[in-house]
Every structure is written in C-alpha cells, then in structure tokens.
C-alpha cells in the first residue's frame, strides 16, 4: 500500500543555486545531502513536512556528477525541472511485485539503495502516463532523528 508522496525529484544543473532558490523563495531548509555514486548524482533533500505514517515528504534536488548518469542524460534532453515522483510504502518489494502483476514494468529486478539509506525501485514512465515513478521504503529512523 502506498502511504504518502515521499518526494518529488527535481533535476538541476547547479545544486547549490537551486537549494538557495528554494530556501529564499519558500523557506525550505536542507534536511540531508549526499552523493549517490551508483546513480551518479549529488543531491539535497529539503523536508517539507512529516506524515501520519512517521515518514516525511521532501523535495529531492538532483545534480549529476558524471555525464553518463541518467539524470545528466535527462537534463541534456529536457533541461531543468521535475524528474520523477516517489511514493512511500512500508514494503517496496511487495509493492513492486503488486504493480508488476498489473502489467507495469519495474526497472530494477531487486530494489536498490536510495537517499538516506532507503530502498527504492522505479516504474517505467511509459506505463505510468509518462511519469517516471519511484517506490520508496524509508530506512528506520536513527536515534535522535525527527
């Protein structure tokens, strides 16, 4: 079962400049940053709000760190903007299997590691009305995290 919008992924050429826009315009602050070598991106997660299931909703800003990354290729074709939407689920494996059974192509055979230690997979945009869709199971919170 999907429990929330986990995040909206936004591809950008300059992460620092884009973070500053969201900070100055909307007052959003960076909750987490990391470089995901496997995905070839540097990212910032801007926490928007908490949710009833203990998770949160974020804006995920993505800057490619290599020219061959999926986000770099997407930016070259489309320019900056919304890259994907991610839905939270308690069990990404079960959710991916259920969606696959409905005829939607799941891009990874096994979920991969995503932001903040989450488990993720993507659904093919051609099967989702043109929208690249991610399924996310958040990592358990660490002590002291809100």
Which are the catalytic amino acids? 7, 43, 60, 84, 134
Asked if residue 43 lies in contact with residue 128, where contact means CB atoms within 8 angstroms, the answer is no
Measured between alpha carbons, how far is residue 43 from residues 36, 64, 102, 118 in Å? 8, 9, 32, 14
Nearest to 116 by CA among 71, 66, 55, 51: 55
């Amino acid at each position: 079962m999907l429990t929330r919008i986990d995040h909206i992924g936004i591809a950008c050429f300059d992460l620092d400049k884009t973070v500053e826009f969201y900070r100055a315009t909307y007052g959003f602050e960076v909750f987490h940053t990391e470089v995901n070598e496997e995905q070839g991106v540097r990212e910032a997660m801007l926490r928007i709000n908490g949710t009833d299931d203990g998770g949160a909703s974020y804006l995920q800003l993505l800057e490619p760190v290599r020219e061959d990354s999926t986000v770099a290729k997407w930016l070259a074709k489309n320019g900056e903007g919304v890259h994907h939407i991610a839905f939270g689920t308690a069990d990404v494996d079960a959710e991916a299997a259920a969606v696959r059974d409905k005829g939607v192509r799941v891009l990874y055979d096994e979920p991969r590691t995503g932001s903040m230690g989450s488990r993720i997979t993507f659904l093919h945009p051609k099967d989702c009305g043109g929208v690249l869709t991610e399924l996310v199971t958040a990592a358990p919170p660490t002590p002291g995290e809100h």
